[in-house]
Structure 1
Amino acid sequence: MHDQGLIEDISERIHMKKLAIQICVNLIGRTISQSEFRVKDGEKLIKTELYYRLNVRPNKNMSASQFWQTVIYKLIHDNECLIIKSDSDDLLIADDFYRDEYGLVEDIFKSVTIKNFTYSRTFRMSDVIYLEYDNENLSKLLSSLYSDYGELFGRLIEYQKLNYQVRSTVDTEDVHSKDPKKRAKMQKFINDMYASIRSKVFAIVPQQKGFKYEEHAKTNNSGNTIDDINKITNGYLDQVSKALGIPPSLVHGEMADVEKHTRNFMTFCIDSLLKKIKDEFDGKFFSKQEYLSGQRMDIRRVTYRNMFDVATAVDKLRSSGVANGHELRDELGMEESDDPIHDKYVITKNYSETVEGGEN
C-alpha cells in the first residue's frame, strides 16, 4: 500500500499528459483557426453579419482565431463544445452546462455558464451550436493510457534523481552535547554550508575544530536513463497524436516526407473536424428550404500549397477543358470573378488537334 501511494504521488507531479495534449490540440486549433468560414448562395459569396462573426469578431472579448482555438480545445479535450448566440448576436462558448436528452423531441440545455454568468433560461438544441468530437470521451482514453506511461515515467525520473544525488556526512565531536545553544549553532552552520554548496558553483567550507564534512559520490551513473525517459515521453506523445489523427512525424518536427504527412493530417484530422462544424452550421443557420435552394456554409481551410505550386496543374485543367475559370478559382480559395471569360471552357490547340484515329 505504501508503494502504491508513492506511485500516485510520482504520477501527480508528471506533466507529460498535459504537455502531450497541449501540443496536439494546439496544432489542430492553430490550423483550423486559419480557415475562412464563408456563407454562399449557390456559387456567390455572401458577406453578412454571420460572415463577420465567424471570421473577425465572434464576441466582444475574443478574436476569431482565439475563438476557434478555444472551440477546438474544448471539443477535443471535453469531447463536446456548446456555442450559444446572445441577444446582441455574439457567439459565446459555454464553460459549463447540463444537457437533458430526449428521444423524440429536442434536447434541452440548462444551467449554461459563461465565465461568471449563468443563464436562468433553457436552450433548445435548435437554438445552439452543439459539437461532439467522438462517441467516447477522448480524455478517458488518454487518462487510461497515461496510467501506464505515467507510472513508468515517474519511476525513471525518481531513479535518475537518485542516481545523481549528492550524499554527505558530517562528523562532530560534541554531537552528544546537551547544550541546546551549541546544537542550534552547529545546526545553523550545517544548514548554511549546505545552502551554499547547493546554490553556488564554487563554495568554500571553512575548517573547524571537531567538524568534518565528507561527500560520498555515486559513480555508477547510467547515461541510458535520459534516453529511456525521452523514449517514454515520445511514445506517449505518439499515441496521443495517433488517437487524434495526427502523423507523429509532424508533432516531432521531422522534415522527411513532410508534404505527404501534412496531406494525411489535413485529410484525416482537419477535414473531418471541419465537416462536423459545417454540418452543424448548415443545419442551424439555414432552414431546409434555404439549404435546398443553394445557401450553405463553405469552409475554406488553410492550404499547405500556394497557387504557384499548382500552376502547372491549373494550366492543364484549364487548357484541356476539364474546368472553367470559376471552378479553378473556387478550388484555389479565390472569390468568383465578374469577368465572363471565366464562364467558358477552353480547349487549346494542342488538345483540339488530337482526334480519334491519330493526328489531324
Structure 2
Amino acid sequence: MGLLDAFLSLGTGSKKNSYEARKERMDYLIEEVTANIYFKQLAVQTSVNLIAKTLARCEFKTFKNGKVHKGETYYSLNIEPNINQSKTAFLNDLVSQLIYSDEGALVVQTDDMQLLVADSYQRNKYAVKSNDYQFVESNNYVFQRTFYEKDVLFLELNNKQIRATIDGLYDSYGKLISGSIKNYNRKNARKLVLNISALFDQEFDKYENEGDEESEADKRIDDLMNNRFKNFFAEGDSVVTLEEGLKLDDFSSSDTKNQASSRDIRAAVDDVIDLVAMAFHIPRGLLKGDVADIEQMTNNFLTFCINPIIEQIENELNRKLFTKEEYLAGNCVKISTDRIKAFDLKDIAGSMEVLVRIGAFSVNDVLEFIGKERIDEAWADEHIITKNYAEIDKYLKASYKKVK
C-alpha cells in the first residue's frame, strides 16, 4: 500500500473518532517513512562526507614549464573556489552532486573566474561536436548563457546506476528495518487486559438517564482509557484508581528470551551501511568508524575509491585548463594525496632520512611534506647524496685498481 492509498483508507471507521484516527495513523505513516529515509541517508551521506573530507586534504599542485608554480589557479583550487565557499565546502557540494545527480557533477566558471557547482542543468550530448549545457542553476541563480564543454568541468561516476542500485537494494532492507522496529515494539510493549465485571455496570445503572446515548459506565471507561491511563503509562511515577468491578491484569512477557532486542534493528541498519560501502568501494570498517586494521583499510580506501575520483578530476582539469602544447611543455595540475594520512614524525623519520641521502628530497622538501615552514637558505634546497653510492662501472674500476 502506498502512502496515498494509506491516507485515503483513513476515512473508514467510526464517526466518533474519525479525525483522531486519521491523524494518528497519518502521523505513524509519516514517522515510519521518514525513519526509513533517514537510515538510507545516514549511510549515503556518511560516504559523501568521508569522500569529500578526504579530497579536501589533497593538495592541488600547479606546474608551469615543469616547475611548481603557485598562482591564481593554485589559490582557487586550494583555498577559495568562489567568494562564498572554502575548498572543503566546495568539494562537499561537488561530491554530493557526483553521487546524487542522475547525470553527474557540473562545475562552471563565471566571468570573474569563480568556480561554482551547478545544482541543476540540461546537458545536450553530441557525437562529433562539443556538448553544451543550458539552464545551469547554482544557489538559486540561473545562468542565461549556454556553456560549452571546453568551458566546464564535468565529472561522473564510472557506474551511473549506483544510486538506482542503492535505492533498489534499500527497498527490501527498508521493509526489513521497518519490520524489525515493529517486532521490537510489539514484543517489548506492555500488554494489559481490563476485566469489567457485571458489578461495575450495576454500580452505575442508577446514574443512567433516559435518552442518554452513552451510559455512565461507558463514560467512566472512556475517561479511564483516554485520560487516566495516559499518566499511568508515562515515564514518571504515577497512580491510577480503579472503580469496583474493574481489574487490570498484566499479560506482558516476563521472559527475557521472548523479548526483542534492538540488536536486530542494528543488524539490519549495518547491512544497509555495508551495501552502500560496497557500492562506493569504501571499506566497511572505515565507514563505521572501526579502528582495527585502520592502516590497511585506509590504503584500500585510497586505492579503490579516492584515486579513481582524483584521476578523473585531474584529467578534467588538465584537458580544460591547458592546451595540448601547454600540457606537453610541462603546464599541468597534479593532485597530491601525501597529506591524507595522519602520521607521527617518529614513524617516518627513517624514511625521510633515506629519501634525503639518496638525493630524492631536499631539506625543504621534507619540511614541506610534514607541514613545516621552509628554510630561506640556498643549502636547504640542495639535493645531496651519500658517498657510499657510486655508479657500477666506477665502483668496478676502483675495485680493480685496489686489486692490482
CA displacement, residues 14-58 of structure 1 (integer Å, 9 cap, x when unaligned): 132111111222111111122222322144333323322222222
SS in 1 for 2:57: coil
CA contact (8 A) 1:36 1:300 kept: yes
1:56–1:320 distance in 2 versus 1, CA, 3 Å: closer
The aligned counterpart of 2:57 is 34
The answer to whether residue 95 in structure 2 is matched with residue 72 in structure 1 is yes
1:350–1:13 distance in 2 versus 1, CA, 3 Å: same
Amino acid at match of 2:187: N
In the alignment, which of 264, 270, 277 is matched to residue 306 of structure 2? 270
The answer to whether residue 219 in structure 2 is matched with residue 190 in structure 1 is no
In the alignment, which of 317, 322, 346 is matched to residue 281 of structure 1? 317
CA contact (8 A) 1:171 1:211 kept: yes
The aligned counterpart of 1:139 is 163
The answer to whether residue 134 in structure 2 is matched with residue 110 in structure 1 is yes
CA displacement, residues 155-188 of structure 1 (integer Å, 9 cap, x when unaligned): 2221111111222233553499645484456423
Which sections of structure 1, spanning at least 5 residues, go unmatched? none
Residues of 1 paired with 2:331 and 2:391: CA distance?
41
Residues of 2 paired with 1:93 and 1:324: CA distance?
37
CA contact (8 A) 2:107 2:154 kept: yes
- Structure with the larger RCO, 1 or 2 (CA within 8 Å, 6+ apart): 1
The aligned counterpart of 1:312 is 350
Residues of 2 paired with 1:343 and 1:96: CA distance?
47
Residues of 2 paired with 1:62 and 1:249: CA distance?
31
CA contact (8 A) 1:44 1:336 kept: no
CA contact (8 A) 2:66 2:331 kept: no
Residues of 2 paired with 1:150 and 1:43: CA distance?
53
The aligned counterpart of 1:251 is 287
Higher mean C-alpha deviation, range 272-281 or range 346-355: 346-355
In the alignment, which of 110, 113, 122 is matched to residue 86 of structure 1? 110
CA contact (8 A) 1:324 1:342 kept: no
The aligned counterpart of 2:84 is 61
Residues of 2 paired with 1:168 and 1:315: CA distance?
75
Residues of 1 paired with 2:290 and 2:227: CA distance?
48
CA contact (8 A) 2:183 2:260 kept: no
The answer to whether residue 235 in structure 2 is matched with residue 200 in structure 1 is yes
Amino acid at match of 1:106: S
1:320–1:95 distance in 2 versus 1, CA, 3 Å: closer
CA contact (8 A) 2:57 2:340 kept: no
Cα shift at 1:84:
1.2
Amino acid at match of 2:132: I
The aligned counterpart of 2:369 is 332
CA contact (8 A) 1:307 1:332 kept: no
In the alignment, which of 65, 70, 74 is matched to residue 51 of structure 1? 74
CA contact (8 A) 1:247 1:261 kept: yes
Cα shift at 1:353:
11
Structure 1 residue ranges, 4+ long, deviating more than 6 angstroms after superposition: 333-338, 357-360
Residues of 2 paired with 1:293 and 1:223: CA distance?
71
Amino acid at match of 1:46: H
The answer to whether residue 327 in structure 2 is matched with residue 303 in structure 1 is no
1:207–1:138 distance in 2 versus 1, CA, 3 Å: same
CA contact (8 A) 2:184 2:260 kept: no
Higher gyration radius (CA): 2
1:82–1:27 distance in 2 versus 1, CA, 3 Å: same
Cα shift at 1:266:
1.6
Amino acid at match of 1:287: T
SS in 1 for 2:62: strand
1:87–1:198 distance in 2 versus 1, CA, 3 Å: farther
The answer to whether residue 184 in structure 2 is matched with residue 148 in structure 1 is no
CA contact (8 A) 2:46 2:287 kept: yes
Cα shift at 1:339:
5.3
Amino acid at match of 1:142: I
CA displacement, residues 267-311 of structure 1 (integer Å, 9 cap, x when unaligned): 221121111111111112222222121111122233314472322
Two-structure CA RMSD over aligned residues (Å)? 3.3
Residues of 2 paired with 1:168 and 1:268: CA distance?
55
Residues of 2 paired with 1:337 and 1:25: CA distance?
38
CA contact (8 A) 2:121 2:135 kept: yes
TM-score, normalised via structure 1 length: 0.85
1:47–1:31 distance in 2 versus 1, CA, 3 Å: same
1:49–1:159 distance in 2 versus 1, CA, 3 Å: same
Residues of 1 paired with 2:368 and 2:283: CA distance?
25
Residues of 2 paired with 1:142 and 1:203: CA distance?
47
CA displacement, residues 75-123 of structure 1 (integer Å, 9 cap, x when unaligned): 1232511111122322211111111111111111111122322223221
CA contact (8 A) 1:250 1:261 kept: yes
Q: Which structure is higher in helix share? A: 2
1:171–1:99 distance in 2 versus 1, CA, 3 Å: same
The aligned counterpart of 2:20 is none
Residues of 1 paired with 2:374 and 2:65: CA distance?
11
Residues of 2 paired with 1:134 and 1:281: CA distance?
18
Which sections of structure 2, spanning at least 5 residues, go unmatched? 7-28
Work out the number of aligned pairs and report it.
355
